[in-house]
Amino acid sequence: MHENEKIRQYFLSTQRTFEAVIVTGGTGESVLLDSLRSSGWNCTVSFPTQATSDIESICPLAVFIDLRVPHPSQVAKDVSSVSTEEVLIASIAEKHISEKRRRALAQSNIIHHVTWNTRDVSLFDYVGRLANRIRALPALFTVLDETDQAVEVCDEHRVVQYVNRAYENVTGCIRSEVIGQPESEMRRKSLPRARGEEERRRSSDWKFIRVPFANNSQFVYMKRSNTTGEAAIFRDVSLKSLKSQTGGIEAPISEVLTMLRDVSCRVDGEPAQTIKDAMKVLSSHELYAPSINRFRDADRIATQYYDGLIRLHHPARQRKRSVVDAHREKRGSHGERRRVSADVKNALENDNCWKFDILHLEKVSDHHALSQVGMKVFERWKVCEVLGCSDDLLNRWILSIEAHYHAGNTYHNATHAADVLQATSFFLDSPSVAIHVNESHAVAALLAAAVHDLDHPGRGNAYLINTRQSLAILYNDNSILENHHIALAFQLTLQHNANVNIFSNLSREEFIQMRHAMVEMVLATDISRHFEYLAKFNKMHVTDVAEEQRDTNSLTICDMLVKCADISNPAREWGLCQRWAHRIVEEYFEQTREEKEKGLPVTMEVFDRNTCNVPITQCGFIDMFAREAFATFTEFAKLGELSEQLESNYEKWKLMTSQWTPTHNTNLVL
């Protein structure tokens, strides 16, 4: 006999002792009582006056109330009031009672009726067996929460019903966010596994178990124990889509950590713990930042050198409000309504939806999409309250920022900034994101999105390096444009005669933190550092973390959030996706033409207008950058529909590749 069937038979056939109380004025001896006792029930006869005390001490599964006792309905109510667990209350009479009497008794929680001479107690036996299982559940769940093995339980529709604490630790997914969601192979694949193993071995990391009590309609996935322990260090490292998992791009530090995980699985004791400690250190976001503590308390001079020359930022230790907390406290407050035209107002109607058409707003606002959507988004997120500035000052600031974008660029213009700002706001609206992001970082993300391509010349970093532009010299060829965007944003904001300093009412500490966050988020948009920031996000651990780590996580999430917003066009509704693609390709066409005319190294040969297959370039961008980033972030943010839209667009581009000819490359942007 199969082991599961043995367990099933054990629960179905083994006799149990169930407690019952018979509330009556007599002895209670009857055919019913004999039948209950022969089925394993321990029956206690109780008088109405002592029924409640007997029930409190015995904790019966069933209570039978003789309808001949005075006020049986009141007795039933008294029984319900003292029962600490669910109890089946039934009435007993010499003969069957009318339907009208049944309905009246049901109002007092008397849900079943039997006669004194009945031998059929099958219903009570069934309830007893069912209760036996239910009463074992708290103990079972307690044990499951204490085990080191990750466990996931799904119903017949493969919807998650339960995950244990180990599951949270090894996947980085919070229990409340997983329960009620469809099962995810990606979540289970997120656990560390040895590289290079056969597919059979990799699939066997999770043991699949059919539950014997539910007619094969309930399923359990249990993580095998050979990789427990070290997994808790890492958050999901492969929430990426399956198509991206075969890619050959992996950070060297990720390869090192994978090798160390492999070794840790083959050793025990102190060496295993040492390897795990080393892995934890290597998983740090600031791998090469010094961690000096041996003299910090004892040597005043050394401490001041450290604080003044190495640790330039001195963050405060106070508890920071999450976006959720901030909006709960500010609920009901509304800023002054801005005056906008009817066309602009209609265009802004659904600015909090993913299908929002920023290009339509660009048209009806006469290319002022950034200032229009910006002020509406800032008002909704109470940015003025956080910064302590007036609505008028914030409006002047966004107009100044908008004026310093190049309207002649087909892609890197103020409308693109508006698009990224709207996407950033949309991402922050996700409850799964908001719970982990503090208020100041949310505001920093919105401001960073608005300025992230400020004064973009319509040419990439490689072009600036090859033409020896002054910006390339200034920033030593490192994240040239990204450094320029954020530096210029603060120069414009802080210049005394411009009267646009939205940070003037922040304390020194608040300003330093806001500036640090904005700089970090804009630098994260450098596509050359794409995989570095993706790896940081993947290794983030969000469960049971200290307050300082929560702050670090908040910034990491916002880095990823703004980065995804910056490359979100492939995940937009198809019409918008297509028009944005034509805009960026047109800009690349012009750069390639200029590079060839000047005899410069051609940055991306594929963007020659005379030969380019635009659909292929879009499929390539999705394959290399967008798919993995969106699969990772949208799973975390519970926005899976965006990845679905991206894949739908990918298939549309793929279908167009065979029909595309260079003649299509003229007049892409109308």
Residue-wise DSSP of 418-471: HHHHHHHHHHHTSHHHHTTSBHHHHHHHHHHHHHTTTT--SS-HHHHHHTT-HH
Helix axes 72-82, 99-106, angle to 10 degrees: 30
Is the pLDDT confidence value at 10 over 80?
Answer: no
Q: Quick one: which H or E segment has residue 64?
A: strand 62-66
Q: What is the 3-state secondary structure (H, E, C) of 603-616?
A: CCHHHCCCCCCHHH
Amino acid sitting at position 197: E
pLDDT band at 38 (very low <50, low <70, confident <90, very high): confident
Nearest one of 178, 195, 286, 280 to 229, comparing CA atoms: 280
Q: How far is CA 516 from CA 510, 513, 555, 559, in A?
A: 10, 5, 10, 12
pLDDT band at 484 (very low <50, low <70, confident <90, very high): very high
Phi/psi class of residue 299: alpha, beta or left (left: φ > 0; alpha: ψ in -120 to 50)?
Answer: beta
Nearest one of 441, 401, 457 to 557, comparing CA atoms: 441
Average pLDDT (245-263) is 67
State how far the Cα of 509 lies from the Cα of 440, in Å rounded to an integer: 12
Is the pLDDT confidence value at 387 over 70?
Answer: yes
For the ranges 10-19, 91-100, 200-209, 494-503, which has the lowest average pLDDT?
200-209
The mean of the pLDDT values for the chain is 82
46 in helix, strand or coil? strand
Give residue 491's pLDDT. 97
Asked if residue 42 belongs to a known ligand binding site, the reply is no
Asked if residue 71 belongs to a known ligand binding site, the reply is no
Q: Quick one: which H or E segment has residue 201?
A: helix 199-203
**Which tokens is 624 given?**
């290399």
State how far the Cα of 569 lies from the Cα of 626, in Å rounded to an integer: 9
Is the pLDDT confidence value at 337 over 60?
Answer: no
Nearest one of 184, 166, 181 to 223, comparing CA atoms: 166
State how far the Cα of 627 lies from the Cα of 305, in Å rounded to an integer: 45
State how far the Cα of 370 lies from the Cα of 450, in Å rounded to an integer: 7
Nearest one of 537, 493, 547 to 515, comparing CA atoms: 493
Judge whether 446 and 422 are in contact, CB under 8 Å: no
Judge whether 444 and 466 are in contact, CB under 8 Å: no
Asked if residue 466 belongs to a known ligand binding site, the reply is no
pLDDT band at 307 (very low <50, low <70, confident <90, very high): low
Asked if residue 216 belongs to a known ligand binding site, the reply is no
Average pLDDT (56-81) is 88
Which of residues 670 and 359 earns the better pLDDT score?
Answer: 359
Average pLDDT (338-349) is 88
Mean pLDDT highest for which of 68-77, 93-102, 124-133, 477-486?
477-486
pLDDT band at 144 (very low <50, low <70, confident <90, very high): confident
Give residue 414's pLDDT. 98
Amino acid sitting at position 586: E
Which of residues 375 and 11 earns the better pLDDT score?
Answer: 375
Average pLDDT (43-58) is 88
State how far the Cα of 97 lies from the Cα of 115, in Å rounded to an integer: 9
Nearest one of 628, 518, 563, 564 to 254, comparing CA atoms: 628
Q: Cα 325 vs. chain centroid, distance in angstroms?
A: 17
Average pLDDT (598-624) is 94
Asked if residue 415 belongs to a known ligand binding site, the reply is yes
Amino acid sitting at position 602: V
pLDDT digits (tens, 9 = 90+) for 466-475: 999 999 999 9
pLDDT band at 188 (very low <50, low <70, confident <90, very high): low
* Range 113-138 burial, b when 16+ CB lie within 10 A, else e: bbbbeeeebeebbebbbebeeeeeee
Backbone angles phi, psi at 589, to 5 degrees: -60, -45
State how far the Cα of 168 lies from the Cα of 391, in Å rounded to an integer: 43
For the ranges 103-112, 193-202, 549-558, which has the lowest average pLDDT?
193-202
Asked if residue 618 belongs to a known ligand binding site, the reply is yes
Backbone angles phi, psi at 495, to 5 degrees: -65, 135
Give residue 204's pLDDT. 44
Q: Cα 324 vs. chain centroid, distance in angstroms?
A: 14
Is the pLDDT confidence value at 563 over 80?
Answer: yes
Which of residues 309 and 351 earns the better pLDDT score?
Answer: 351
**pLDDT > 70: percent of the chain:** 78
Give residue 190's pLDDT. 47
Give the active site residues.
Answer: 412
Judge whether 148 and 222 are in contact, CB under 8 Å: no
Looking at the DSSP assignment, which residues form a beta bridge with residue 156?
none
Give residue 55's pLDDT. 87
For the ranges 11-15, 258-262, 362-366, 656-660, which has the lowest average pLDDT?
11-15
Count of CB atoms within 10 A of residue 105's CB? 22
Which of residues 285 and 591 earns the better pLDDT score?
Answer: 591
Judge whether 149 and 225 are in contact, CB under 8 Å: yes
Give residue 609's pLDDT. 96
Radius of gyration of the chain (CA): 33
Judge whether 615 and 519 are in contact, CB under 8 Å: no
Give residue 85's pLDDT. 65
Asked if residue 245 belongs to a known ligand binding site, the reply is no
